[in-house]
Each structure stands twice: as C-alpha cells, then as structure tokens.
C-alpha cells in the first residue's frame, strides 16, 4: 500500500509539472506564492523556484539541490524522494522549478498502514469466513444434497428427489437427476411387472407340466385295469378253463370292456384336441340346445323314473361354439340323470340377470362332501371310491366341461343345495 501511494504521487506530480510550468510563464510574480502553495497542497510535494543565480525566489525551501549552468545537481538528503525539474521564462528572466515528494508523507502512510493492518487482516478473515459460510449454504449444500440422493439411487431406491429449484448449472444437474430417477423408476416398475408376469408364466408352465404328468399317469392307470381284465377274459376263453367255458357270456363282457376302453380313448383324444382347438363362435340358442340334450337322456330318465323339469323363461342367445357347448350340456345333464337315484327330480332353469344368461342344472337326492368339491374338476377323479365305471364313469366328464368353459371364458360353479347338487353356468 505505501509503495502504491508513492507511485500514485509520482505519477500525479509528473503529470502536473507541465501545467504548472505553463501557468508560471503568465502568472505575475506577486501571485507565485499562492499558485505554488495550491500546487504543494494538491500534490503533497515541496516546491521551489530558483533564479539564474541559484537563489530561491519563491516557494518552499528545498535543500540538497543546486543549479549550475541550468543543470540541477542533487545533494545527499535522506528525507527527499523523487524530484522533478522544469524551466520557464517570465519578464525576460530564466527560472527553474524544483518539485519533490516528501518522504515523510510516505513514511507516515507506512506507519498508519502498519497500525491498521491487524484490524484489516481481522476484517479480511471475518469476511472470508462469512463468504465461505454463505458459499457452503448457497453452492456446496445443494451439491451435498445431490450427492446424498445419488447414493440412495445406487441402492435402486428411485423415490428420492433433489429438492433444488435453482436455474444455474446445479439446478440443471438436479433436474436431470430427477428426470433420470423418474425414468429409471418407470423402467424398474416395468421390469418388475415383466418379471412377475414371467414368473407367473413359469409357475403356470410348471403347473401344466405337473398336471400333464399326473394326467398321463392317470391314463396309464385307467387303461391298465380294463386292458388287464380284457386280457384275462380272452386268455381264459382261449384256454377254455373254469367259468370262461361259457364263451358267449364272457365275449359279451369282453365287448363291453372294449367299449369302455374305446370311450375312454375318445375322451382322451377330445382333451388332447382342446389344447389346440380354435373355437367357432356363433349365435347359439341356449334354450334350443338344452332342450335337445334333455331329449337325449329322456329315455334314461324314464327308466329310472326321474322327472326332468325345464323352466326356460327367456330364449337366451349366447356367443359360443355350438358343438363344444353341446358336449358341455350333454355331460352336465347326463351326470345329473346318471347319478340321481330313482324317483328323483332334475330341475333345469334358464334365466337372465344383469344382461347375462344363467343356466342351472339341479338334481335331487345326492350330495358330495364339501371337501371333495374342489377335486371334482380333476381328471379321473370319481367320488365313487370303488372307481367302478358302472357308477362313476371315467372321471373325465367334468374335466372336459371345465376345459371347454374355460376356453369360452364362461363362469361356472358346482355346489350342494338343500335338495341335492346344482351346477350353474353364467354366460357373457
């Protein structure tokens, strides 16, 4: 600071010397002291005017300098610093102006600066600390916040957001990070949904494989029994031993066994086709189709003195594959007639509710244990523990019904009632 102050004085004095010289050439001698005093105060310098005899004629006395033949010679003086000289003429006389910067003024500034420097340094430290605090609040804290949020995002937690509302580069960074978090969150949700669907497909495929294995195992068991019986009967008749000598009787039994095997094979082939079948949906009269199936089992019902009651309030038209629905109704009505005791009632109703057609088939005099109801849809499951085909059939009827209704997307249920069993189908 002192050096800067001294340099500023030197520059100012150098610039003003020329103006002073020009002014002194036209200023009357009696006004020189006033002009020189003003110049000294303005430039903080000492000044003196010497005549041709090296005698001071105006200004402040400046020692250490002499003028000889128009040349100023410097003498030793520790209190003096930079010196500037200039000459001018006034009233035909030659004069020399000597201007000097006083070293005492510079030293005084240095002393003052040394005294105030500790205070200035303290103020600088306080301002720096305050600036650092403000910087940390304005700039560093949002960066720390963004860093914390990014760490949480590395744990795939995309629910966090940067709470930064600035418009500078930090705000842009926070906005980009938030947008990235939203996109990653959506991508993760989509991926999770895809994984869940994939897991469902895998579980469904495994369940289908399990059912397929169980199905083929059940097929082998179901075919093994009648084939073994048939083989035994034929072998006995060939050897003509024991009761098998009555060939006519056991040929009839063998024929019936062959028919049961043929029926089972047809049902198995039907189930195999259902996996790849393409439904031929068309407008189908539910009342007409049901009445046709009832006529098929009318003779069987008469033989068992079973009364079939039909209550068709409306002619419901459904979108269905007529051929497949005929198999469904035939199985359901046939089961109701076959498994009902003599002198019972089979009640068939067609109604409409909420824009949906409803068909119910209820037979009286028979119940199924509620623990067995979920199993009746399984292939080859029969409530008859003896597994006799004379009373229980093949065990594929309801499984075929379930498969066809699932293909159509129709609702269905099988339940116990006060008087017997009721099968209900709901058509869209």
* Same domain for 218 and 180: yes
* Same domain for 389 and 298: yes
Determine, yes or no, domain membership for 149.
no
CA distance 38 to 267: 131
- The structural domain count of the chain equals 3
Beta bridge partners of 59: 48
Determine, yes or no, domain membership for 132.
no
Determine, yes or no, domain membership for 124.
no
Q: Residue 204 belongs to what domain range?
A: 156-276
Please give the biggest Cα pair distance in the chain.
Answer: 179
CA distance 237 to 223: 21
* Same domain for 259 and 166: yes
The label of the residue with tokens 């009721």 reads: 422
Determine, yes or no, domain membership for 381.
yes
* Same domain for 284 and 316: yes
Q: What is the pLDDT of residues 322-364, one digit of tens each?
A: 888 888 898 899 888 888 889 899 999 998 887 888 999 999 8
How many whole angstroms from its chain centre is CA 273?
42
* Same domain for 411 and 375: yes
The label of the residue with tokens 């720390």 reads: 144
Determine, yes or no, domain membership for 207.
yes
CA distance 147 to 145: 5
Interhelix angle 397-408/322-338, nearest 10 degrees: 150
Q: What is the pLDDT of residues 59-97, one digit of tens each?
A: 875 554 444 444 444 444 444 457 888 888 888 888 888
Determine, yes or no, domain membership for 297.
yes
* Same domain for 301 and 272: no
Residue 80: HSE in the Cβ half-sphere, 13 Å Cα cutoff: 17
Determine, yes or no, domain membership for 126.
no
Task: Give the CATH number of the domain where residue 81 resides.
Answer: 3.30.450
Task: Give the CATH number of the domain where residue 382 resides.
Answer: 3.30.565.10
* Same domain for 366 and 235: no
Which positions of the chain have pLDDT values less than 70? 2, 61-81, 102-103, 105-106, 158-160, 163-166, 214-215, 218-219, 221-222, 271-272, 274-276, 379-395
* Same domain for 287 and 160: no
CA distance 399 to 415: 16
Based on the number of CB atoms within 10 Å of its own CB, is 219 exposed (0-12), middle (13-18) or buried (19 or more)?
middle
* Same domain for 217 and 102: no
| pLDDT for 105 | 67
Last residue of a domain, one of 276, 297, 321: 276
| pLDDT for 127 | 94
Last residue of a domain, one of 276, 296, 330: 276
Distance (Å) of CA 136 to CA 8, 60, 130, 141, 162: 39, 59, 10, 6, 17
* Same domain for 267 and 285: no
Nearest to 342 by CA among 368, 364, 309: 364
| pLDDT for 126 | 94
Determine, yes or no, domain membership for 43.
yes
* Same domain for 303 and 272: no
| 329-363: b (≥16 Cβ within 10 Å) or e | bbbbbbbbbbbbeeebbbbbbbeeeeeebbbbbbb
* Same domain for 286 and 272: no
Pairing of strands 356-364, 345-353: antiparallel
CA distance 255 to 198: 50
Check if the beta carbon of residue 427 is closer than 8 Å to that of residue 359: yes
Last residue of a domain, one of 276, 310, 345: 276
């Amino acid at each position: 600071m002192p050096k800067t102050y001294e340099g500023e004085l030197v520059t100012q004095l150098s610039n003003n010397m020329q103006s002073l010289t020009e002014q002194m050439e036209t200023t009357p001698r009696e006004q020189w002291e006033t002009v020189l005093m003003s110049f000294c105060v303005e430039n903080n310098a000492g000044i003196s005017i010497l005549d041709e005899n090296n005698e001071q004629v105006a200004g402040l006395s400046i020692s250490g300098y002499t003028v000889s033949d128009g040349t100023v010679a410097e003498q030793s003086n520790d209190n003096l610093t930079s010196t500037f000289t200039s000459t001018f003429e006034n009233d035909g006389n030659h004069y020399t102006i000597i201007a000097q910067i006083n070293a005492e003024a510079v030293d005084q500034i240095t002393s003052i600066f040394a005294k105030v420097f500790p205070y200035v340094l303290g103020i600088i430290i306080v301002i720096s600390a305050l600036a650092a605090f403000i910087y940390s609040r304005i700039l560093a804290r949002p960066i720390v916040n963004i860093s914390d949020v990014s760490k949480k995002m590395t744990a795939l937690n995309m629910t966090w957001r940067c709470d930064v509302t600035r418009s500078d580069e930090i705000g842009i960074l926070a906005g980009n990070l938030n947008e990235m978090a939203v996109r990653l969150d959506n991508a993760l949700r989509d991926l999770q949904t895809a994984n869940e669907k994939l897991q469902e497909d895998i579980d469904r495929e495994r369940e289908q494989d399990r059912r397929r294995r169980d199905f083929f195992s059940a097929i082998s068991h179901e075919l093994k029994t009648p084939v073994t019986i048939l083989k035994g009967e034929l072998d006995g008749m060939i050897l003509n031993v024991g009761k098998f000598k009555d060939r006519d009787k056991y040929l009839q039994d063998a024929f019936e066994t062959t028919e049961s095997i043929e029926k089972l094979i047809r049902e198995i082939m039907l189930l195999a086709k259902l996996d790849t079948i393409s439904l031929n949906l068309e407008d189908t009269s539910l009342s007409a189709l049901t009445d046709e199936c009832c006529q098929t089992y009318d003779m069987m019902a008469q033989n068992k003195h079973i009364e079939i009651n039909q209550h068709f309030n409306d002619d419901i038209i459904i979108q269905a594959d007529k051929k497949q629905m005929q198999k469904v109704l035939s199985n359901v009505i046939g089961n109701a007639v076959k498994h009902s005791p003599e002198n019972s009632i089979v009640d068939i109703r067609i109604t409409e509710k909420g824009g949906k057609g409803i068909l119910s088939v209820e037979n009286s005099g028979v119940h199924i244990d509620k623990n067995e109801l979920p199993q009746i849809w399984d292939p080859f499951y029969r409530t008859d523990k003896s597994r006799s085909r004379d009373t229980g059939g093949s065990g594929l009827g309801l499984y075929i019904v379930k498969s066809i209704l699932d293909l159509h997307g129709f609702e269905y249920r099988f339940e116990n009632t006060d008087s017997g069993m009721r099968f209900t189908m709901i058509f869209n």
